Chains A and B, each alone.
Chain A
Amino acid sequence: MVTAAVSTENLTKIYTLDLLKGRKRVVALDGLNLTIGEGHVMGVLGPNGAGKSTTIKLLLNLITPTSGKARLFGLDPSDAEARRNVGYLPENPSPYEYLTGEEFVRFAGSLSGLRGAELTARVRTVLEQVQMDRFTGVQIRRYSKGMTQRIALAQALVSSPRLLILDEPTSGLDVLGRQLIRDIILAEKKKGTSVLLCSHIIPDVEALAEDVAILIGGKLVRSGPVSEMLSDEGSRVELTFEGVDAQRLSPLNPEVIQDGRRLIVRTAAASSRALIEAAHQAEGRLISMQPIRNSLEDAFLEALRNSQNKVGSTIE
């Protein structure tokens, strides 16, 4: 039997707030069922307060669930052994600022049980991987945000984890930093590392993840392979013509946009042949034809609209 890297079963977290007006219940996560297979990359999308960070905290035993179960490689996260194969990069990481980058990564490695020559070799490798090997002797408090993010990623990678949990790994980074982190995630994916990627940057999730889960208001509203979410409108095409009068195509009733001398036409794939023939008879020229694909952002916005644009946790 293959054990999933991550699995949750009706995972729920409810906080109670004692306010002047009385006690309130904040449902941060509501019955989450999620599975990440070994070697898979799952992106988790959601607006602020959707439950993304709560999910991560539950998986890392930083908070305890109100009900339901979470498992890391089949073990309860409260079992320290369950976390041995996990590398974690928190959002806006804040490492020990008076340690140097190398000392911090070495410290993280030692906590995962690495010792001696093996630890030294792993520290050197990951520092080179995140391109921080030139700044190893500098205290972290002197690092820029991007450098701190890279060192925090290095500490997540040092123990060669089988599961990487990354919370907003590219936030606040410049183009080069983002590209580097994306390359590292792709390299880890190639090695067979499972990745749970929470990000607000949807193109990153689209480029890196195989599966995606959309959380809104603490609930999982949609999940599945990224390719499925992108192909929802796969039966429609976009055609670009030159030298055609829009009126000559109107009997076929397509969606038309006039762009200078060019005519952009969107229609069902089945109607495309008739449109091309009509344009040809009108002595027009077909410039391009491509399928219309939904972006992940479209899928996310649609899910958000379906949830009445709900932002934040549910307060009862």
Chain B
Amino acid sequence: MAGSTLRLYSYAFFLPAGIIYILFFIAPTFLSFFFSLTIWTLSDWRFTGLDNFRIFFTEPSLSIGLRNSLIYAISTCALKVVLGFLLAAFLCTKLKTRGFLRSLIYFPNILSTIAVGIIFSSLMHPSHGLINTTLAFFGIQGPDWLGNPKMALFSVVLVDVWKGVGVAMIIFIAGIQAIPQHYYEALSIDGGSSFDKLRYITLPLSRSSMNSVIMLAFIGGIRSFDLIWVMTKGGPGFTSDLIASIIYKQLQGGFYGLSTAGNVVLFIIVSIMAVPLYRSLTKVEVDL
């Protein structure tokens, strides 16, 4: 008797949050699977089978988003891991200005992405932007960062890395500081150099923080939207469109079914990538 009261009592606590979670998260998620198979407006719908998915994968202006999102996610992820790790290793040494440098590198992350995008689009202006005027001072003709179809995506990748590398660095610093000092002492007694310390102790033992960084950066990259939208709107043409910006454009165009289908595709991609990525990465973790 007392047990069942207790059980009901505990469910009552779950109720307010549960209702909100079901209403605004679980229900829309499952409804979207259905609506991705229809052409719908806010008041009406018509079943069309897998048509939306066919359009999404066959139309070049849509499927380019898949490719670009992968390029974007992989390159931001790789750069954040490498740069974040090196910065963290460097800023864990006994440097006088280390606190200052850490906050300096973390600082861009507290800025709003929209503000960063606006600032960089003016810095990257081909003739009046600060970057190219500086390059011109040294006699270098800077490229059209955001206007050149071959460069636009990578320019945004660079800005994303500039903004996000601080978080990667902080995670790495936490991981590196958790490594017990006696490993390093043992290595220096054996005559290892600082590079050996980095290669044989710091790198393998910060594997778990590296996993977190890879996961966060990759998933963040694949569903990234705001920066590209502010800086290029997917342009020139469609050359820097990501899945998310394409979904948004379909929504703006009033193609609710198509944009729901795009979201389902994004959901599946993120799940497919996140699960095995997480598995394979956690397997090689080393116990401290």
Task: Please determine whether chains A and B interact with each other in the same assembly.
Answer: no
